[in-house]
Structure 1
C-alpha cells in the first residue's frame, strides 16, 4: 500500500503528517515554509509512494470558511496542475490547533517548546490524519 499525506496549510508554515505504508499509523513528518511546499512535495513524492493527500479545510464555528481558505484554493490549483493524478481530499480541521496545543501540554512539553508554532502545525496535520484514519 501507499502512504496518505496530510497537510495543515498555513500562510507562513505548513504542517505535514504521513501514514505508514499500511495506513495504520499517523506520524508527524515536518513543517515546511509554505513558499517551499511544492518543491518539498515533489521531492517527497519521488522518494515515497503516496496515493492520497488530505488538505485541511479550516472552517469557522458556524461552518463558514476561514480567511486562509482563499490561499488554500490557490495552493490547490498549483498542486493539481503540478500533480494531476494525485487524489486530494479536503478534511474539516476545526479545533486541530487547539487540540495540538493541548496534546503538547498533556505530553509534558515545556512552555518554551509549546511556543514552537512549527511543532503545533505538524501536530495539527497529524490530528487531521488520525481523524481521517479513524473515520475511514
Structure 2
C-alpha cells in the first residue's frame, strides 16, 4: 500500500503532510521552498511509495476560486506531467491557516514559535490531509 501526500501550496513555501501506510493518520512532513518542490518530490515520492497527492483547493466564502488558484493551476499541470502515475486530488482548504494557528495556540507554542510561517504551512497541509481522509 502507498501513502497519500498533501500539499498546501504557497507562492514562497509549500507545506507537506503524509499518511501512514494504512492511510489512517496524517502527519506533518515538512515545508519546502516553492522553487525547490519538484526536486524534493522527485526524491521523496519513489522512496515513500506515494499513490495519491492531495492539493489544497482555495475557495472564497461564496465557493468561487481564490486568487491563488492562478498560481496553483500551472503547478498542477507540471505535477501531473512529472508524476503521471500518481492520482491527483483537490480538497477544500478554507480556514486551514486559521485552524493551524489555533492549533499552535492550543498546543502552547510560544509567540516566537507561532510566527514560524513554515510551521503554519506544514500544519495546514496536515489539516487538509486529515480532512481528506474523512472522505475515503
> TM-score interval w.r.t. the shorter chain?
over 0.9
Question: How is 1:1-136 mapped onto 2 (pairs within 5 angstroms)?
Answer: 1-136=1-136
Structure 2 distance, partners of 1:93, 1:50, is 21
1:28-74 CA distances to partner (integer Å, 9 max, x unpaired)?
00000001111111000121111100000000111111111011001
Structure 2: gaps (5+ residues): none
| Aligned CA-pair RMSD | 0.7
Structure 2 distance, partners of 1:135, 1:52, is 14
Structure 2 distance, partners of 1:101, 1:47, is 31
Segments ≥4 residues shifted beyond 6 Å: none
Structure 1: gaps (5+ residues): none
SS, match of residue 53 in structure 1: strand
Structure 1 distance, partners of 2:67, 2:117, is 19
Shift in Å at residue 125 of structure 1? Answer: 0.2
TM-score where L is the length of structure 1: 0.98
SS, match of residue 32 in structure 1: strand
1:73-120 CA distances to partner (integer Å, 9 max, x unpaired)?
010111111111110000000000000000000000000000000000
